[in-house]
Chain A
Amino acid sequence: MGEEVKFHGMWASPFSRRVELALKLKAIPYQYIEEDLSNKTPSLLRYNPVHKKVPVLVHNDKPVAESMVIIEYMDETWENNPFLPRDSYERAMARFYAKFIDDKLLPTLAKLGQTAGKENEETIEEIHEQLKVLEDELKGKQFFGGQRIGYLDIVAMILVWLHLAGSITGQKILSTEKFPLIYEWIERVMKMEVVNECLIPEEKRQDWIQLAQRAPKSASN
């Protein structure tokens, strides 16, 4: 499968970082193009005319957009280190929880920066309910993918980001008492070099928090 892989991404976008992690987990060589979202490259606009967003993977000049579409494409094209389980039902479950994170947890997290007082408390409660769903999914497992890192672990990296944000802002949404399994998972994945390579570097984390607080949903815009 020797070919040209290019990846248009942005350092502060969790969606972009997902694809980066997936590329590294499969050890796929690629050329990275950092996009300035206020001044997008003509290539990006050509490769993703519908949404004009990152991430975009370009494989032999054929573009794939949307992080989850990219990750499934990668899993089907490069068969080493498979992300999705073989069993159809388990695949459906992995896809369900990944969608849960993207459709429910992420929008609720985005609300955090925009609410205050009682509304903020309600948002935090909502997040806790959603985190409980993920906590339960980890029961009896080392990773969301079972014995090793998989599809859902890649998407769930947002939990690591949440933990890092908490250490910087002091607002601890993820408590070890309430979510011990999630915490163990975070510690486990953060020991992996490949995961650390895809996290926001320490010196940029303050900038990232400020960016996220300004426009939480538009990081990949």
Chain B
Amino acid sequence: MAGELVLLDFWPSPFGMRSRIALAEKGIPYEYREEDLRNKSDLLLQMNPAHKKIPVLIHNGKPVCESVIQVQYIDEVWHDKAPLIPSDPYQRAVARFWVDFIDKKIYELGSKIWKTKGEEQANAKKEFIECLKLLEGELGDKTYFGGESLGYVDVALVPFYSWFYAYEKCGDFSIEAECPKMIAWVKRCMQKESVAKSLPDQEKVYEFILQLKKVFGI
């Protein structure tokens, strides 16, 4: 079942982080390969011709693309260790709904916060906070979105924490001030080795964003 596992990734990618966390939670060894997105490897282009994007999980030579699909795949293949997706069909549907929500909103809004200025940025910040508040509502009093243990929604969302500092600096606002419950949840997640080791340092991500802004003249 283990076989050969390779993850083609890029260190600041929150999508790549999802698969890193899932694999770490289950204690599955794999080879991590860093991609230079300005000079993509032949392997990446071959394994993901439709999108040419990371992350790509290669299991025994066969590619699985798209982070949410990878996390589901990892959970199904290594189902006996640290299950991430609930076993009850309705709970699964709820978890999938929120992961879909995170995918539709968080990355795009976060990108607008660091890429834009003025009114566009102000609107993005407002909507971003609203989305985090909705997620706080879903979390409620639970330790994790997954209940007592890390689950699918936790794995999908927590990587964006590594970008929070960059969003805050670029947008001149404090996420913790607006969404303290969210940050409290993040801190609980970060106490887990699987999460702490999979997320890059926030300051590094901020430096990376500043570089991108220079390159794109933003």
Binding site for B on A (CB under 8 A): 50, 59, 62, 64-66, 68-70, 72-73, 76-77, 88-89, 91-92, 95-96, 99-100, 104, 133
Q: How far is the CB of A143 from chain B (nearest CB, A)?
A: 20
Partner of B72, one of A62, A95, A100: A95
B136 in contact (CB, < 8 A): no
> With a CB–CB cut-off of 8 A, which chain A residues contact B65?
96
Q: A92-B64, A96-B66, A100-B50 are in contact. Are A76 and B72 (CB under 8 A)?
A: no
Q: Considering only CB atoms and an 8 Å cut-off, how many residues of chain B contact the other chain? A: 23
What would be 18 A-B contacts, judged by CB atoms less than 8 Å apart? A50-B134, A59-B90, A64-B90, A64-B97, A66-B100, A68-B96, A69-B93, A72-B93, A72-B96, A76-B89, A88-B76, A88-B77, A95-B72, A96-B65, A96-B66, A96-B69, A99-B69, A104-B50
Q: Are B76 and A64 in contact (CB under 8 A)?
A: no
Interfacial chain B residues near A65, Cβ < 8 Å: 97
Task: State whether B100 touches A69 (Cβ < 8 A).
Answer: yes
In the complex, B208 has a CB within 8 A of chain A? no
A93-B97 Cα distance, complex, nearest whole Å = 20
Q: Is the contact region of chain B dominated by helix, strand, or loop, or is it mixed?
A: helix
Q: Is the CB of B76 within 8 A of A76?
A: no
Whole-angstrom distance between the Cβ of B51 and the nearest chain A Cβ:
8
Task: State the CA gap A70–B92 with chains docked (Å).
Answer: 10
Q: What B residues does A66 contact at CB under 8 A?
A: 96-97, 100
Contact between chains at A92 and B73 (CB < 8 Å): yes
Most chain A CB within 10 A, of B59, B90, B101, is at B90
Q: How far is the CB of B167 from chain A (nearest CB, A)?
A: 22
Within the assembled complex, what's the spacing in Å between the Cα atoms of A71 and B188?
A: 33
- Does chain A have a CB within 8 A of B169? no
| CB-CB nearest in chain B for A65 | B97
Q: Quick one: which of B92, B93, B100 has the most chain A CB within 10 A?
A: B93
Contacts of A88 in B (CB 8 A): 73, 76-77
- Contact status B97-A62, CB under 8 Å: no
What is the CB-to-nearest-CB distance from A19 to chain B, in angstroms, rounded to a whole number? 13
Q: Give the complex CA separation of A3 and B93 in angstroms.
A: 18
- Chain A nearest CB: distance from B187 CB in Å? 26
Contact A69 B89 (CB under 8 A): no
Determine the chain A residues whose CB is within 8 A of the CB of B66 once the complex forms. 95-96, 99
Q: Mark B83-96, 1 if CB is under 8 A from A, else 0.
A: 00000011011001
Measured between alpha carbons, how far is A76 from B72 in the docked complex, in Å?
14
Instruction: List the 7 closest pairs (A to B, CB-CB), nearest first.
Output: A76-B89, A73-B93, A69-B96, A88-B76, A92-B73, A64-B93, A92-B64
Complex Cα distance, B91 from A76, in Å, reads 11
* Chain B positions within 8 Å of A95 at CB level: 66, 69, 72
Q: B197 within 8 Å of A by Cβ?
A: no
Q: Is B62 in the interface zone, CB < 8 Å from A? A: yes
A29 CB to nearest chain B CB (Å) = 18
- A73 CA to B50 CA, complexed, in Å: 27
Pairwise interchain contact A77-B89, C-beta atoms closer than 8 A: yes
B76 contact set on A, CB distance < 8 A: 88, 91
The distance from the CB of B67 to the nearest CB of chain A, in whole angstroms, is 11
Distance (Å) between the CB of A126 and the closest chain B CB? 12
User: Would you list which residues of chain B between 171 and 198 have a CB under 8 Å from chain A?
Assistant: none
* Docked pose: A96 CA to B92 CA in angstroms: 18
Known: A88-B73, A96-B69, A133-B50. A73 touches B90 (CB 8 A): yes
CA distance A69 to B98 in the complex (A): 10
Q: What is the minimal beta-carbon distance from A185 to any residue of chain B, in angstroms?
A: 19
